[in-house]
Chain A
Amino acid sequence: MTIQSSQEKRTEQTYVGVAYPRLEDLRLTTGKAKFLDDLSVPPGTHYAVILRSPYAHAKIKRIDAEDAIKVPGVRAVLTAVELLSVMDPLPLALRSPIRYYPIATDRARYAGEPVAVVIARTRAIAEDAASKVNVDYEPLEVVADIEKALAQGAPNVHEAVGSNTVWKKTFSYGDVGNAFEQAVKVVSVDVRVNGYTVPPMETFGVVAEYDRGSDVLTEWCNFIGPFTMAYVVAKALRLSQDRFRVIVPGDIGGSFGTKLAVYPYMALIGACSIFTGVPVKWIETRMEHFVGSTRAATRLSHLEMALSADGEFLGLKARITDDIGAYPRSPEPGHLLKSVSNFTGPYKIANLEISGEYVTTNTLPTSPIRAFGRPHLCIPLEKLVDKCAKITGTDPLELRKRNFIQPRDFPYTTASGGVYDSGDYGAAIEKLKQIFDLDGARADILEKRREGRLVGLGFAVGIEPSVSNMAYLDLAIPEEERQKATFMPHSGGQHSATLKIEPDGHIVARLDSCPQGQGHETVAAQLVASVLGVNPEDVRVLTGVDTFNVSWSISSGTYASRFGSLGISAVYSAALDMRKKLTEAASKLLGVSADDIVMENGVLFSKSRRDLKISSKRLVGTVYWNPGSDALKGGDHTLSVTRTFNVETLGPATLDNKVNASATYGFIGTAAAVEVDRDTGSVSILKYASVHDSGGSVNPGIVEQLCVGAANQAASHALHQELIHDDRGQPLNITFGDYYVRTAEDFFTPIFGSAAKKSPFTPLGTKGVSEGDNMTGPAALLIAIQDALYEYNADIDTVPFTAERIWSRFLSKNNLGESASSRSDVA
Chain B
Amino acid sequence: MPRGVTLYTLTPPKFDYKRASSVEEACKLLATTDGAKVIAGGQSLLVAMRLRLASPAVLVDIGHISDLGNISEEGMGLNIGATCTHSKLARSKEVMERFPILCEAAARVGDEQVRNRGTIGGSISHADPAGNYAPVLTALNAKFAVVSASNRRTIAASNFFEGPYTTVLNGDELVEKVVLEKKLSSGTKEGHSFMKFSTMPQEFATVNVASVVAIKDGKFEEVTVALGALLPKPRIMPELGESLIGKATTAENIRQASQKLQLGSEIISDYKASAQYRTHIAKVLVARSLLTAVNRATGAE
Contact B9 A49 (CB under 8 A): yes
Contact B13 A679 (CB under 8 A): no
Q: How far is the CA of A283 from the CA of B202 in the complex (A)?
A: 27
CB of B93 closer than 8 Å to a CB of A? no
Residues of chain B within 8 A of A737, CB atoms compared: 203-204
Chain B proximity of A16: nearest CB distance (Å): 38
Q: How far is the CA of A397 from the CA of B174 in the complex (A)?
A: 64
Binds A, one of B137-145, B154-162, B193-201: B193-201
CB of A287 closer than 8 Å to a CB of B? yes
Contact B280 A285 (CB under 8 A): no
Contact B5 A51 (CB under 8 A): yes
Contact with B along A590-621 (1 / 0, CB 8 A): 00000000000000000000000000000000
CB of A269 closer than 8 Å to a CB of B? no
Binds B, one of A85-93, A126-134, A377-385, A535-543: A126-134
Q: A740-B200, A803-B199 are in contact. Are A745 and B8 (CB under 8 A)?
A: no
Q: How far is the CA of A52 from the CA of B277 in the complex (A)?
A: 34
Contact of A127 among B4, B7, B202, B277 (CB under 8 A): B7
Residues of chain B within 8 A of A726, CB atoms compared: 271
Residues of chain B within 8 A of A137, CB atoms compared: 4
CB of A20 closer than 8 Å to a CB of B? no
CB of A480 closer than 8 Å to a CB of B? no
Instruction: Specify the chain A residue showing the minimal Cβ separation from B283.
Output: A679
Contact of B7 among A131, A733, A745 (CB under 8 A): A131
Residues of chain B within 8 A of A720, CB atoms compared: 199-200
Contact B280 A133 (CB under 8 A): no
CB of B111 closer than 8 Å to a CB of A? yes
CB of A136 closer than 8 Å to a CB of B? yes
Contact A285 B10 (CB under 8 A): yes
Contact with B along A715-739 (1 / 0, CB 8 A): 0000110001010000011000110
Chain A proximity of B77: nearest CB distance (Å): 32
CB of B1 closer than 8 Å to a CB of A? yes
CB of A814 closer than 8 Å to a CB of B? no
Chain B proximity of A813: nearest CB distance (Å): 13
Chain B residues 17-58 with CB under 8 Å of chain A are 51-52
Contact with A along B254-298 (1 / 0, CB 8 A): 000000000000000011111011001100100000000000000
Chain B proximity of A415: nearest CB distance (Å): 40
CB of B3 closer than 8 Å to a CB of A? yes
Instruction: Specify the chain B residue showing the minimal Cβ separation from A807.
Output: B277
CB of A812 closer than 8 Å to a CB of B? yes
Q: How far is the CA of A117 from the CA of B277 in the complex (A)?
A: 42
Q: How far is the CA of A48 from the CA of B203 in the complex (A)?
A: 32
Q: A128-B13, A746-B200, A746-B202 are in contact. Are A804 and B277 (CB under 8 A)?
A: yes
Residues of chain A within 8 A of B277, CB atoms compared: 804, 807-808
Q: A287-B51, A732-B271 are in contact. Are A53 and B111 (CB under 8 A)?
A: no
Contact B11 A123 (CB under 8 A): yes
CB of B112 closer than 8 Å to a CB of A? yes
Q: A733-B271, A802-B199 are in contact. Are A134 and B284 (CB under 8 A)?
A: no
Residues of chain B within 8 A of A123, CB atoms compared: 10-11
Instruction: Specify the chain A residue showing the minimal Cβ separation from B277.
Output: A804
Contact of A54 among B6, B274, B280, B281 (CB under 8 A): B6
Residues of chain A within 8 A of B284, CB atoms compared: 679-680
Chain A residues 81-136 with CB under 8 Å of chain B are 111-112, 115-116, 123-124, 127-128, 130-136
CB of A742 closer than 8 Å to a CB of B? yes
Contact A49 B7 (CB under 8 A): yes
Instruction: Specify the chain B residue showing the minimal Cβ separation from A678.
Output: B284
Residues of chain A within 8 A of B6, CB atoms compared: 51-54, 111-112, 291
Q: How far is the CA of A132 from the CA of B10 in the complex (A)?
A: 17
CB of B2 closer than 8 Å to a CB of A? yes
Residues of chain B within 8 A of A116, CB atoms compared: 5
Residues of chain A within 8 A of B197, CB atoms compared: 680
Name 8 interchain pairs, CB-CB below 8 A, sorted by A.
A49-B9, A51-B2, A53-B6, A111-B6, A127-B9, A291-B6, A746-B201, A812-B280
Residues of chain B within 8 A of A24, CB atoms compared: none
Q: How far is the CA of A746 from the CA of B111 in the complex (A)?
A: 10
16 extra interface residue pairs, beta carbon distance < 8 Å, beyond A112-B6, A123-B10, A134-B4 = A51-B7, A52-B7, A115-B5, A123-B11, A127-B10, A131-B2, A131-B7, A134-B2, A135-B4, A136-B4, A285-B8, A719-B199, A720-B199, A732-B270, A745-B201, A804-B274
Contact A133 B202 (CB under 8 A): no
Contact A132 B111 (CB under 8 A): no
Residues of chain A within 8 A of B199, CB atoms compared: 682, 719-720, 740, 802-803
Contact A743 B111 (CB under 8 A): yes
Contact A287 B8 (CB under 8 A): yes
Instruction: Specify the chain A residue showing the minimal Cβ separation from B276.
Output: A808
Q: A52-B8, A804-B274 are in contact. Are A127 and B52 (CB under 8 A)?
A: yes
Chain A residues 648-700 with CB under 8 Å of chain B are 679-680, 682
Instruction: Specify the chain B residue showing the minimal Cβ separation from A722.
Output: B271
Contact B4 A54 (CB under 8 A): yes
Instruction: Specify the chain B residue showing the minimal Cβ separation from A285.
Output: B8
CB of A288 closer than 8 Å to a CB of B? yes
Chain B proximity of A372: nearest CB distance (Å): 26
Chain B proximity of A293: nearest CB distance (Å): 11
Q: How far is the CA of A802 from the CA of B197 in the complex (A)?
A: 13
Chain B residues 89-118 with CB under 8 Å of chain A are 111-112
Residues of chain A within 8 A of B13, CB atoms compared: 128
**Which residue, of B5, B7, B204, has the highest number of chain A Cβ atoms within 10 A?**
B5
Instruction: Specify the chain A residue showing the minimal Cβ separation from B12.
Output: A124
Residues of chain A within 8 A of B281, CB atoms compared: 680
Q: How far is the CA of A719 from the CA of B203 in the complex (A)?
A: 14
Q: How far is the CA of A283 from the CA of B7 in the complex (A)?
A: 13
Contact B9 A132 (CB under 8 A): no
Residues of chain B within 8 A of A134, CB atoms compared: 2-5
Q: How far is the CA of A742 from the CA of B5 in the complex (A)?
A: 32
Chain A proximity of B173: nearest CB distance (Å): 28
Q: How far is the CA of A742 from the CA of B202 in the complex (A)?
A: 9
Chain A residues 274-289 with CB under 8 Å of chain B are 283, 285-288
Q: A720-B199, A745-B112 are in contact. Are A135 and B280 (CB under 8 A)?
A: no
Residues of chain A within 8 A of B111, CB atoms compared: 743, 745
Contact A724 B271 (CB under 8 A): yes
Residues of chain B within 8 A of A742, CB atoms compared: 200
**Which residue, of A136, A291, A803, A808, has the highest number of chain B Cβ atoms within 10 A?**
A803
Chain B proximity of A757: nearest CB distance (Å): 37
Chain B proximity of A202: nearest CB distance (Å): 14
Q: How far is the CA of A379 from the CA of B7 in the complex (A)?
A: 37
Chain A proximity of B126: nearest CB distance (Å): 13
Chain A proximity of B32: nearest CB distance (Å): 27
Residues of chain A within 8 A of B9, CB atoms compared: 49, 127, 130, 285
List the 5 closest A-B pairs by CB distance, nearest first. A135-B4, A51-B5, A124-B11, A287-B8, A285-B8
Chain A proximity of B217: nearest CB distance (Å): 30
Instruction: Specify the chain A residue showing the minimal Cβ separation from B288.
Output: A679
Chain B residues 219-269 with CB under 8 Å of chain A are none
Contact of A135 among B5, B112, B270 (CB under 8 A): B5
Residues of chain B within 8 A of A804, CB atoms compared: 273-274, 277
Q: How far is the CA of A137 from the CA of B272 in the complex (A)?
A: 30
Instruction: Specify the chain A residue showing the minimal Cβ separation from B110.
Output: A737
Residues of chain A within 8 A of B201, CB atoms compared: 745-746
Contact with B along A751-763 (1 / 0, CB 8 A): 0000000000000
Instruction: Specify the chain B residue showing the minimal Cβ separation from A115.
Output: B5
Chain A residues 122-171 with CB under 8 Å of chain B are 123-124, 127-128, 130-137
Contact B271 A135 (CB under 8 A): no
Contact B10 A135 (CB under 8 A): no
Chain B proximity of A130: nearest CB distance (Å): 5
Q: How far is the CA of A277 from the CA of B13 in the complex (A)?
A: 28
Instruction: Specify the chain A residue showing the minimal Cβ separation from B111.
Output: A743
Residues of chain A within 8 A of B7, CB atoms compared: 49, 51-52, 127, 130-131
Chain A proximity of B117: nearest CB distance (Å): 16
Residues of chain B within 8 A of A52, CB atoms compared: 5-8
Residues of chain A within 8 A of B3, CB atoms compared: 134-135
